[in-house]
Structure 1
């Protein structure tokens, strides 16, 4: 004899075989065909509804579009831009350093510093620092603006997966600088 045991939510908990398992009073007697279906068909949830055992489809889990879009934005944000022929990293750490140099440049128009681009160090002055800071900030803001547009498309029901790779600001491919020898 074969049995099915259901939990307090009427979901199949396990199948039992008399002589092999101890059979609780709450177990439901089933025939061999149903036993095979219950143990082999895993494309749904088996439930006991009234006195009938039925298979219901798994509930659909909606994709987490907000998380996917935010991850893509972060990847695009953490890239590089080209400013006056210089490749400038736009990671949060780099942007913070650039914004700090920009503040110094705003306070002192004669400010100069050695600045590390993706190609290496250069000496730049206040005006060029501000140009770089504006370009980095514009890139980062454009990434957030694209994220917002995609989230609005999700909300409006017009989003498609192809949109995730489109419409982001241009960036420069990052080529690692060789370590000093």
Structure 2
């Protein structure tokens, strides 16, 4: 004898064979033909509806476009920009360090520091620090602005997958060895 066992939502949980498996009282006896279909046809969801066992299509899964856009923005945000001949990482860690140096530069126009670019350390002054902070902030903001445009296109129903790779600010991809200042 062959049986089908269904979960609390009436979805097929497993198939059982008497003498091989323990058969719970809630199991439903099925003939050989249906047993083969239950175990071989994986193109839908088998359900118990009343006294019948029917196959329903898989539910349509709508992609989470907003999450895809946010993920792409985050990836684009973590890049590299060139400012006054210096190559600077725009990752969140690096940007935080840069913004901190920018505050020091605002408070003290004579402020100088050893700043680590992707090529190595350079000594820079307050004006260069502020130029770097502005460039990094502009890059990051442009990424968020593009994300907003894409989210609006999703809302308007004009979004297409091709748009996800277009329209982002120009930058170089972040190097795997890029470090914050």
- TM-score range with shorter-chain normalisation? 0.7 to 0.9
Corresponding residue for residue 55 of structure 2: 55
Alpha-carbon spacing, 1:176–1:55, altered in 2? closer, same or farther (3 Å) = closer
TM-score normalised per structure 1: 0.86
Residue deviations 1:159-180 (CA, integer Å, cap 9, x gap):
22222211111112445679xx
- Count matched residues: 178
SS in structure 2 of the partner of residue 54 of structure 1: strand
Please tell me whether the aligned partners of residues 120 and 177 of structure 1 are also in contact (alpha carbons under 8 angstroms). no
List runs of 5+ in structure 1 lacking aligned partners: none
Within the alignment, does 1:112 sit opposite 2:81 as a pair? no
Identify the range of structure 1 (20-29 vs 111-120) with the bigger mean alpha-carbon deviation: 20-29
Please tell me whether the aligned partners of residues 78 and 173 of structure 2 are also in contact (alpha carbons under 8 angstroms). no
CA distance in 1, matches of 2:7, 2:176: 57
SS in structure 2 of the partner of residue 47 of structure 1: strand
Please tell me whether the aligned partners of residues 118 and 174 of structure 1 are also in contact (alpha carbons under 8 angstroms). no
CA distance in 1, matches of 2:158, 2:174: 32
List runs of 5+ in structure 2 lacking aligned partners: none
Alpha-carbon spacing, 1:137–1:36, altered in 2? closer, same or farther (3 Å) = same
Within the alignment, does 1:94 sit opposite 2:86 as a pair? no
Identify the range of structure 1 (165-174 vs 126-135) with the bigger mean alpha-carbon deviation: 165-174
SS in structure 1 of the partner of residue 152 of structure 2: helix
Please tell me whether the aligned partners of residues 119 and 177 of structure 1 are also in contact (alpha carbons under 8 angstroms). no
Superposition RMSD on alpha carbons, in Å?
A: 2.2
